[in-house]
Amino acid sequence: MCELLGMSANVPTDICFSFTGLIQRGGKTGPHRDGWGITFYEGKGFRTFKDPKPGYQSAIAQLVQNYPIKSKAVVSHIRQANRGHVNLENTHPFTRELWGRFWTFAHNGQLTGFEDLDTENHRPVGQTDSEQAFCWLLKKLDDVYPLPPANMKDVYRYIASCCDQLKEMGVFNMLLTDGEYVMSYCTNHLYWITRQAPFGKATLIDEDVEVNFQEETSPEDIVTVIATQPLTANEAWTRMKPGEYNVFHCGELIESNAALLKDVPFAEAKPGC
Amino acid sequence: MCELLGMSANVPTDICFSFTGLIQRGGKTGPHRDGWGITFYEGKGFRTFKDPKPGYQSAIAQLVQNYPIKSKAVVSHIRQANRGHVNLENTHPFTRELWGRFWTFAHNGQLTGFEDLDTENHRPVGQTDSEQAFCWLLKKLDDVYPLPPANMKDVYRYIASCCDQLKEMGVFNMLLTDGEYVMSYCTNHLYWITRQAPFGKATLIDEDVEVNFQEETSPEDIVTVIATQPLTANEAWTRMKPGEYNVFHCGELIESNAALLKDVPFAEAKPGC
């Protein structure tokens, strides 16, 4: 399976520490050697770095680890291919415009029958189930909200109901952002943690790196990180339940269905995405 | 004014040499310090590197100069801002999907009355006349070709007729590509050169760099470079006429209205874009 990494923060924050942990799994401590990508929002604009090569060998990934780009919303992905060839058009995240905003999407899992998802004029460019699901989500949003909506909480609730449909087709772990909000949806593997004062130290699982967040932050900072597997060994990550969605804004959880869901056993993911 | 750089080639070719020339004008040998960007196509996928910082100081631009990404279609831009703030959402090139292809656009010039260009649901994210013009072009294409068209020459001819309308609003020098074709449209400043066997040496105007294309290429290579100003001192670049458009495919000129146009004096560009 692939791995996801997302961030929501109340001040522009760099994600070098977490990305350094994730990218080791791109062929070194993990089997995700079929490309990687990361999208940073800065205001309404974004920039994406991506490479169909293994992350741990990539000169571009090296730059992203060492060059702190500060952002309030980030989505990243490392790929172990299953549906679609290993090439740039199949490398996550995917970004498209809707309502004068750029939406960025990354997916972990596999969907059966994805070819039947009707995307109308939101046409996929590559061959993955993931991009087709993203285009279908945009089409559903376009149908229900032909004009830019005012109430974004309603929009994210509607997206969650669409994700419930996608979950019926297989494994659908997802990160989605419009640069303002960051949404996570879980079928089986997604964890999150919110860091705020008092900040402590954290140690990466995948690389011999420790960070003292107290030295890197100011007391008002709130930063949430979402990942397929916990990235640090000495912090308490919250595991999401099957069918759970969370919406973060400026680092804080503002919308979730977690309280409504029962604790049920997790189905194991099949490899690939 | 801004500066444009484009490339069309019959084999994946790196553009490090030309980009090294252009990027010096991003605050060093030229005044274009308000951001830069470059989009490389690889198959149907693309990747864009951009930065709202001056190009000649940018760590990301440094990577692009030194890390050869091979592509058959490239569009690049350095910006001297006039319309819209200096930030990421206003940094060219702009990329959007239409007909299951990614279209990439960069503009040099200024358009008066651009706010009246109706873009319907192809909404701009930033504030530039350039992005609004691009969204308007996509809307016009969507209107005329609601389904993916088969004859791309016809499509590019239609785009040229839309560019004629934009030219009436001010200065409109443009590069546009769908990853397969590269189109240039000129109001006043655009030059191009096709390099093919027998290859010679070329010397950059803006930096003390010489390249021997014979060592870098194979005899079948055909590479066209398009730029606002010639980038090399010892080669013969062709200046485009006002209202001229060219469409390149695999490095070769396949469509142009140049023969139909009279030689007329060039209007000087106002600064900014």
The C-alpha of B143 sits at a distance from chain A's nearest C-alpha, in angstroms, of 12
Residues of A near B (Cβ–Cβ under 8 Å) read 42-52, 59-60, 63, 67, 87-91, 96-97, 99-102, 121-126, 142, 146, 148
Instruction: Quote the pLDDT of residue B273.
Output: 56
B48 to chain A nearest CA, in Å? 7
| Residue the block writes with tokens 């670049």 | B237
C-alpha torsion sign, points A221, A226, A232, A234: positive
Locate the chain A residue with the closest alpha carbon to B44.
Answer: A89
State both tokens at B244.
């001229």
Judge whether B110 and B168 are in contact, CB under 8 Å. no
| Residue at token pair 């140049």 | B258
- % residues pLDDT > 70 (chain B): 96
User: How does pLDDT run across B123-143, given as a tens digit for each residue?
Assistant: 999 999 999 999 999 999 999
Would you say residue B272 has pLDDT above 60?
no
pLDDT in tens, B233-263: 989 999 999 999 999 999 999 999 999 997 7
Helix, strand and coil content of chain B, in percent to the nearest 5, comes to: 25, 35, 40
Element at A144 (helix H, strand E): helix A129-144
CA distance linking residue B89 with residue A158, whole number of Å = 27
Distance of alpha carbon A26 from alpha carbon B131, whole angstroms: 35
Contact present, A228 and A26 (Cβ < 8 Å): no
Which residues, in sequence order, are bridge partners of residue B193? B225
> Looking up tokens 């068209």, which residue turns up?
B149
Length of chain B: 273
Task: Provide the mean pLDDT of chain B.
Answer: 92
Strand B210-212 relative to strand B222-227, pairing: unpaired
Domain membership flag for residue A265: no
Task: Kindly report, residue by residue over B179-212, the tens digit of the pLDDT.
Answer: 999 999 999 999 999 999 999 899 998 888 888 8
Q: Is B42 contained in some domain?
A: yes
Q: What is the pLDDT of residue B106?
A: 97
CB contact under 8 A, A67 and B59: yes
Cα of A240 to nearest chain B Cα, Å: 32
Rounded distance between C-alpha atoms, residue A239 and residue A186, angstroms:
9
In a domain, B18, yes or no: yes
Residue A219 lies in a domain: yes
Rounded-to-integer distance, Cα A80 and Cα B1, Å: 44
The answer to whether residue A273 sits within a structural domain is no
Inter-CA distances, A157 with A120, A152, A153, A226, A247, Å? 22, 9, 6, 19, 9
Q: How many domains does chain A have?
A: 1
The whole-number pLDDT of residue A141 equals 98
Question: Do B47 and A47 count as a contact with CB atoms less than 8 A apart?
Answer: no
What pLDDT is attached to residue B211?
87
Give the residue, A17 or B267, on which the prediction is more confident: A17
At which residue do the structure tokens 């003390």 appear?
A: B208
In whole angstroms, give the CA distance from residue A43 to residue A29.
Answer: 34
For residue B190, which of B227, B150, B153 has the smallest C-alpha distance? B227
Query: What is residue B192's predicted lDDT score, i.e. its pLDDT?
Result: 97
> Is the pLDDT assigned to residue B57 strictly greater than 90?
no
Is B2 one of the annotated active-site residues of the chain?
Answer: yes
Structural domain contains residue A268: no
- As beta bridge partners, residue B224 has B8, B194
Task: For tokens 């029958």, name the residue.
Answer: A113
Q: Determine the residue among B63, B79, B97, B180 to mutate to test chain A binding: the one whose Cβ has the most chain A Cβ atoms within 10 Å.
A: B97
In this prediction, residue A54 carries a pLDDT of 86
Confirm whether B273 is domain-assigned. no
Question: What pLDDT, on a 0 to 100 scale, did the predictor assign at position B267?
Answer: 59
Written as tens digits, the pLDDT of chain A (273 aa) is 689 999 999 999 999 988 998 888 877 787 888 889 999 999 999 999 999 888 888 899 999 988 889 999 999 999 887 777 889 999 999 999 999 999 999 999 999 999 999 999 999 999 999 999 999 999 999 999 999 999 999 999 999 999 999 999 999 999 999 999 999 999 999 999 999 999 989 999 888 888 888 888 899 999 999 999 999 998 999 999 999 999 999 999 999 999 999 776 665 555 455
Whether residue B135 is contained in a domain is answered as: yes
- For residue A272, what pLDDT is reported? 55
Sheet holding A252-256, edge to edge: A94-98, A101-108, A173-177, A181-185, A245-249, A252-256
Give phi and psi for B195, each to the nearest 5: -105, 130
CA-CA distance, B21 to B27, in Å (whole number)? 12
- Per DSSP, the three-state class of A161 is helix
DSSP H stretches of helix in chain B:
16-24, 59-66, 129-144, 152-167, 213-216
SS3 B54: coil
**In which domain, by residue range, is B169 found?**
3-260
CATH number, domain at A29? 3.60.20.10
Q: What would the pLDDT profile of B90-130 be if each residue is shown by its tens digit?
A: 999 999 999 999 999 999 999 999 999 999 999 999 999 99
The pLDDT score that the predictor gives to residue B206 is 84
Catalytic-role residue among B2, B135, B186, B273: B2
Question: Distance between CA B102 and CA B179 in Å, rounded?
Answer: 7
The residues on B that touch A, with CB distances below 8 Å, are 42-52, 59-60, 63, 67, 87-91, 96-97, 99-102, 121-126, 142, 146, 148
Angle ∠(B66,B196,B67) on CA atoms, nearest 5:
10
**Chain B residues inside the 8 Å CB shell of A42:** 52, 87-88
What percent of chain B lies above the pLDDT cut of 90? 73
DSSP, collapsed to helix, strand or coil, labels residue A83 as coil
A146 contact residues in B (CB cutoff 8 A)? 121
Contacts of A90 in chain B (CB under 8 A): 45
A-chain CB neighbours of B48 within 8 Å are 47-48
C-beta of residue B228 within 8 angstroms of C-beta of residue B108: yes
Res B224: pLDDT: 96
Residue numbers in A near B148 (CB within 8 A): 123
Measured at the CA of A197, the angle between CA A192 and CA A199, to 5 degrees, comes to: 75
Token pair of A132 as six digits? 């087709």
